[in-house]
Each structure stands twice: as structure tokens, then as C-alpha cells.
Amino acid sequence: MSGASDSPTAPAPVAARTVLVTGGARSGKSLYAEGLVRASTRECVYVATCTPHDEEMRQRIDRHRNQRGEGWRTIEEPRDLAGVLAAESTAQRAILVDCLTLWLSNLIFAEADPEAETARLAEALRAAPGPIVLVTNEVGSGIVPENALARRFRDEQGRLNRRIAELADVAVLVAAGLPLVLKPSHLQPEIRL
């Protein structure tokens, strides 16, 4: 038997106010996140957390700017994400934060309290009237780092990602340029033991 009723239907679009996009290095997560913000038809605001410390990082920033193209307002804020989101979020703006991983690095090197800053960020996300897309890296899937600072960073990044994913309406893993929706997933069965 064939026909339109036999074909799987596409899932209904998900209305999301907070989206977490995660993945490995060069996986395509920023490009995917930029596409979400651009498709919103709202004013596009890019919150950059990177602080360029060398020429290679400056080149990465330039590549990201060129990739985004015109039509974006950029705010550079390495540490006070909660403050920026509180000041900038409106129903008419879609904000892209790129990325939480560099933000966390900045906090650790400034000897700030990542747990307290994550709590501030979570509160700002809950209070934001407009959509916010946050990019982060999955860093804990590899080997255990050999030094204490790297292990602390890996652990803090895992906690940060988990906390933001819990409050996000949508969480997407991008691997090899392909998005996999982790939350919500109507296709994954409930598992009972």
C-alpha cells in the first residue's frame, strides 16, 4: 500500500525561546546557529565572547565575521553575558551567543566563580523576552586531560552545558555539519526497565 498516508510526516516546528547548540570543533555549530537567528526575521545580534590573544584567534574572528555577512550587530563581551542579555533581549531581537566555551575560559582565567556566573546566566535566560541561541563545545568526550586546570575546565564545561540544556527549550548537537535535535525529541521512545 502506498500513498501520502504511508509516508512519515515531518515533525511540527518547535517554538523556542532558548536554544543550545553544541558540538565539536569545526562541526558546523556556529553556522547552524547563525542560520536559526537569521531565519527568525528579527534584528540579529551577535554576542562574541572571544578575546583575541594572538594572530590565529584574530583570523578565526575574521572568518566568523565574514561567514555571518551583513545584517548583524555585534557586541563583544567576554564575561558579563547576564548583563548583556538583560540589556539587549527584546521580542524584536534574536541574540546569538558564540560561545559559552570561551566565556567559561574567560571566567576561569579571571578567577571568577563559574557556578555563580552560570546561575546569573540562567536567570537572564529565563527572564529574556526574546529568543536566544547559545553555542557551546562538547569537550568531555575525549581523554582525561593530564593537568588540573584542563580537568577543571572540562568538568566546569560539562556542568555548564548540562545546566543550560536543562533550561533550554531546544538542544541541538551538530556533528559533521548535521544537526541532531536532542531536546525535545518526539522520535525517541520512552525507555523503561
In Å, what is the CA distance from 66 to each residue of 60, 62, 71, 72, 114?
10, 6, 11, 11, 31
H, E, C per residue of 134-171: EECCCCCCCCCCCCHHHHHHHHHHHHHHHHHHHHCCEE
Catalytic residues: 64
Determine how many CB atoms are found less than 10 A away from the CB of residue 108.
16
Q: Which of these, 169, 172, 163, 110, lies nearest to 135 by C-alpha position?
A: 172
**Angle between helix 114-127 and 100-109 (nearest 10):** 140
